[in-house]
Amino acid sequence: MGTSTAAILRSTPTLRGRLLLLVAAVALPLLTLAALAVWRAYDGERSRIGERMTAQARSMAFSIDREFERAEALLAMLARAPVLATGDLAAVEAQMRSLSATLFDGEHLALTRPDGTQVLNTTWPPGSRRQGAPTSAAARETLATSRTVISDLYTGMATGRPTVAVVVPVQGPDGGPPAAYALNATIPLPRLARVLTEQGVPQGWVAAVLDRTGRIVARTARQDEMVGRPAMPAVIQAITGPGAEPALLMQSPTLDGVLSVVALGRAPRSGYWVALAAPDRAFSGPLRTALAQLLAIGAALLGTGLALAFALARRVRDSLRVLAELGATGMPTLQPAGLREVDDVAQALAAAERQRRVLVAELNHRVKNVLATVQSVALQTLKGRAGDAAGFATALSSRLRALAAAHDLITAGSWEAAPLGAVVRGALAPWLAREAPGRIRIELPEEAARVGPLQAQALVLALNELATNAVKYGALSVPEGRIILRCATTEGGVLRLAWTETGGPPPATDAGEPPRQGFGTRLLRRALAQDLGPGARVDLRFAPTGLLARIEFLTAA
């Protein structure tokens, strides 16, 4: 049993453990909420940056389209030159070389016949003519459709370098199809890279122009190495897949091996794409920094909270030792415990201990008084019933029941003052309920007095004797007999009880006194006045009409 109790006590959580758990239970959810708030802020900022990147990628794509449109406009102007209509190839060559040098950064221009062979090419020596020189696929498409064509990236036949061409048709003499010639110009790829740079690419970011198949046409970083290479497969799939949107945002590594957030914008005129890539660390770096700071602050706060909880638990534990000493010694020397609540409890327990000792002493005293009363009652009853064992037993039992009833009444009131009405009715309860219902009338004052415990015990015994004698010799011995018990209090706190019997047989008295005084008479005249306290008076008159008993005493309540 003891081992089981000790095991249970050891398994019970301590105050320190509960306080530490409380701090953790408060701090950890707060840290979680703070981390969630940081994440939501990061996610919102990431979305806003992504929207700005997408808008910038589309703006760059429009700028690339303007470069193609500029080249188309220059070629269209040359295509309408009169020298082409007259067939003056030398003059056409001169104009083509001038346009190449001044407006196309020295990139070559070429003129192609309807049969698909080149007539002029600025990469040839001036005045050279090459029979059967093949032309590009874009030029052949222009000749076939009589419309402007912007090529994807291809390898130039004359230069052997990656090339993008804009080809415009030269109309025949009647101004309609088929085209008389195809005039194409190679777009300077570094110029496309400058278009991207002029848009303001942040440090560490990369922008690239992609043709319709996903090959790199121009790039802001490592231009010479990357031109002509295909973009990452995820990017190619995004721009060549069915239903590709004009603007896309995705995550993919770049050809440099850097995980990045990539914004894609499509040029509506050419169908080319601009890819703007920002390193993912530019997005996740602030998040990691914020989370690291939050973790550091949270760890510091949690550590501080746990330290305070530990210190508080130790303080409370030390304070509770006062209560432990109170339980061990009964009356410790009270000293401040350090916590007002513990001090209050300690003082209350100390006061309760003092009261308990007083109550134990009082109980011992009262038990001795009760035992003395029982002894006296037994001796007096034996004296009055000498030789009559049955009568002795009956009388003693009745008087002990009266003592028990008085004790119950006092105990119910926690040995405090009892209401007079409860004392009177409790003492006369057997006769009020069974033997003389309606023949005993009790008159109490509106504000019934209260009597002390010893006074209540004495009154119960006295009223028990009066009622017992009334049943044997007085008013309750005949059917027409009646009893009135009047109770009243004076301004000085004196309680007066008057027991009046009427209608009973006349007492056998000598000069108003019974010939023989039994236990009841002695109890009423001697012990009752003593038990009711100083100044108490008991007067018994055996009148011809019946017994009249007057009791006066100062209430102890």
Q: Please compute the mean of the pLDDT values over residues 496-513 and round it to a whole number.
A: 76
Q: How far is it, in rounded angstroms, from Cα 265 to Cα 195?
A: 15
Question: Where is 96: in which H helix or E strand?
Answer: helix 89-103
Mean pLDDT of the chain: 80
Q: What are phi and psi of 229, to 5 degrees?
A: -85, 145
SS3 276: strand
> What's the number of CA atoms in the CB half-sphere (13 Å) around residue 201?
23
Of the candidate ranges 38-52, 335-349, 385-399, the one whose mean pLDDT is the lowest: 385-399
Q: How far is it, in rounded angstroms, from Cα 225 to Cα 31?
A: 48
Task: For residue 113, give every residue at least 6 positions away whose Cβ sits within 8 Å of its Cβ, in sequence order, or none.
Answer: 119, 181
Q: Please compute the mean of the pLDDT values over residues 301-307 and round it to a whole number.
A: 81
pLDDT (tens digit per residue) in 126-170: 989 888 899 999 999 999 999 999 999 999 887 889 999 999 999
pLDDT given at position 235: 93
Q: Please compute the mean of the pLDDT values over residues 528-553 and round it to a whole number.
A: 86
pLDDT exceeds 80 at position 504:
yes
pLDDT exceeds 70 at position 206:
yes
Q: What are phi and psi of 456, to 5 degrees?
A: -60, -45
Structure tokens at 291: 């989370």
Q: Please compute the mean of the pLDDT values over residues 346-359 and round it to a whole number.
A: 68
- DSSP-assigned beta bridge partners for residue 274: 209, 265
The model's pTM: 0.55
SS (H, E, C) 15-41: HHHHHHHHHHHHHHHHHHHHHHHHHHH
pLDDT (tens digit per residue) in 373-404: 555 555 545 554 455 555 555 655 655 665 66
Confidence band for 7, pLDDT divided at 50, 70 and 90: low
Q: Please compute the mean of the pLDDT values over residues 521-535 and round it to a whole number.
A: 76
CA 456 to chain CA centroid, Å, is 59
Of the candidate ranges 10-24, 64-78, 165-179, 262-276, the one whose mean pLDDT is the lowest: 10-24
Q: How far is it, in rounded angstroms, from Cα 87 to Cα 502?
A: 164
Q: Please compute the mean of the pLDDT values over residues 328-336 and round it to a whole number.
A: 59
Q: How far is it, in rounded angstroms, from Cα 124 to Cα 121?
A: 6
SS3 114: coil
Pairing of strands 440-443, 206-210: unpaired
Q: Are the beta carbons of 239 and 214 closer than 8 angstroms?
A: yes
